[in-house]
Amino acid sequence: MGIYKEEHDIFRATVKKFIEKEVIPNIEEWEEKEEIPRAFMTKCGEMGFLGMWMDEKYGGLEVGFEYTAVLVEEFGKVNAAMAVVGSSDIIAPYIYDFCTDEMKMKYLPGITSGKMVPAVAMTEPNTGSDLKGVRTSAVSDGDDYIINGQKTFITSGNSCDFVIVVCKTNPDSNSLSNAFSLIIVDDGTPGFIKGRKLNKMGMHMQDTAELFFEDCRVPKTNRIGEEGKGFKYLMAELQKERLIMVMWGQAMAEAMLQMGIDYAKSREAFGQPIATFQHNAFKIADMATQVQLGRSLVNELIIDFIAGNNIVTKVSMAKLYVAEMANDVAAKSFQLHGGYGFMEEYPIARYYRDIRAQTVYAGSSEIMRLVIARSLGIEPT
Ligand SMILES: Cc1cc2nc3c(=O)[nH]c(=O)nc-3n(C[C@H](O)[C@H](O)[C@H](O)COP(=O)(O)OP(=O)(O)OC[C@H]3O[C@@H](n4cnc5c(N)ncnc54)[C@H](O)[C@@H]3O)c2cc1C
């Protein structure tokens, strides 16, 4: 069964054209400035790319996940997927699925128009994979919460207009089922301090920052859903986030394979194209096989997700496989490029750096193995 119909192909052609004109010529500048300009986000909003799946009243187009998949595949190929789906498909669902209509109206139209940039803050200096270790606290004070704590590695942390903060609201519990809540903190709230932009080895166009909360008072109406249910909401939305990460990693692997093939066919050594040395031809054959396996898994997952099936185990397997596979493909494609792979003029240099983070964020490869083992009735210790 295929995923895409004619209307999706037409949409894909529009997306490709947009990327040619608005993304490819600007990537270098975005990487240098370490930011994706607001003007670009609003252009994406005008094109209707942001939160296409949402109701019209929030600025969406009420279309299926196929459209998000097209966006991730096409922006993923040029390694800029996060620019277009980060806010609208990874973060907005927390608001769309669990907030009051008033909150939805406050934030969602801003996201779909590209005028508002959100962030989500789980990770802290002392804890990432293990959310039980979250220390940022939100203490009840009448109709407000007072938030204290620190977050790190937060995507769009510096540029965000608001951030969804994972806070401990039940100091007496350490249980994931009732200790944590998700609370929105708007930029400019006293006590919400944006720290330095972190100096990363890759993904330079994304700003990644530390955030501090010092007696930061926010109304309880800023809480997403019920108190204590934060982890449940995170788990509900993380599956889609992982799927998007998998689709992005797959698109990058496909692009890196093609870069390797193109370069190896055109570069000559010892009087022949380097692709025709059996060692390299077999390396390319291995890469193509790995990438094809990833594509089959990803397409099956997209179909499952659209059908509303539970994808928890399969998406964990795909996240593990694609992240590791794409890193392997990056290394092989890089090696085919010889010294030119190390030069910034060749895109493999940037892809090689950027793909590295895929085995860590949105659930590391080890955490994916943990989820898979548990699904098989094994509790690793
Ligand atoms: C570019 C980038 C963007 C990010 N954006 C965000 C963001 O927007 N918001 C946010 O909240 N976070 C973000 N993160 C943080 C990311 O989610 C964490 O880095 C990730 O969850 C891992 O946490 P950690 O770095 O604390 O590593 P740790 O949890 O300390 O893990 C260290 C190592 O130990 C392994 N490990 C941990 N537990 C186990 C176990 N039980 N069994 C075996 N091995 C284990 C891990 O897999 C890892 O290899 C981002 C990270 C990066 C790199």
User: What percentage of the chain exceeds 70 in pLDDT?
Assistant: 100
**Block residue for tokens 């390319």:** 284
Give residue 309 CA to ligand 1 midpoint distance, Å.
27
Compute the average pLDDT of residues 103-110.
Answer: 98
244 lines ligand 1 (CB under 6 A): no
Which one of 35, 74, 241, 254 is the catalytic residue? 241
Give residue 200 CA to ligand 1 midpoint distance, Å.
15
364 lines ligand 1 (CB under 6 A): yes
Condensed to tens digits (0 to 9), the pLDDT of residues 328-346 reads 999 999 999 999 999 999 9
pLDDT at 27 over 80: yes
At the topology level, CATH places domain 6-116 in Butyryl-Coa Dehydrogenase, subunit A; domain 1 (1.10.540)
CA–CA distance, 187 with 342 (Å, rounded to integer): 39
| Nearest protein Cα to ligand 1, atom 30 | 128
Q: Which CATH class is domain 119-228?
A: mainly beta
Q: What is the pLDDT of residue 140?
A: 98
User: Own/partner pairs for 258-266, CB < 8 Å, 24+ apart?
Assistant: 259/333, 259/337, 259/346, 259/347, 259/348, 259/351, 260/284, 260/287, 260/329, 260/332, 260/333, 260/336, 260/337, 260/348, 263/333, 263/336, 263/337, 263/340, 263/346, 263/348, 264/336
Compute the average pLDDT of residues 101-130.
Answer: 97
* Residues 6+ away with beta carbon under 8 Å from 252: 76, 77, 79, 326, 330, 351, 354, 355
208 lines ligand 1 (CB under 6 A): yes
Q: What is the pLDDT of residue 1?
A: 65
Taking the mean position of all CA atoms in its chain, how far away is CA 134?
21
| Domain regions of the chain by residue span | 6-116, 119-228, 232-375
Compute the average pLDDT of residues 221-245.
Answer: 97
Give residue 268 CA to ligand 1 midpoint distance, Å.
42
| Nearest protein Cα to ligand 1, atom 7 | 154
Condensed to tens digits (0 to 9), the pLDDT of residues 143-167 reads 999 999 999 999 999 999 999 999 9
313 lines ligand 1 (CB under 6 A): no
- Residue 241 falls in the annotated catalytic set: yes
Give residue 130 CA to ligand 1 midpoint distance, Å.
8
Q: Which CATH number fits domain 232-375: 3.40.50.300, 1.20.140.10, 3.40.50.720, 3.90.25.10?
A: 1.20.140.10
**Block residue for tokens 């669902």:** 93
Q: Grade residue 246 by pLDDT with cuts at 50, 70 and 90.
A: very high
Condensed to tens digits (0 to 9), the pLDDT of residues 31-54 reads 999 989 999 999 999 999 999 999
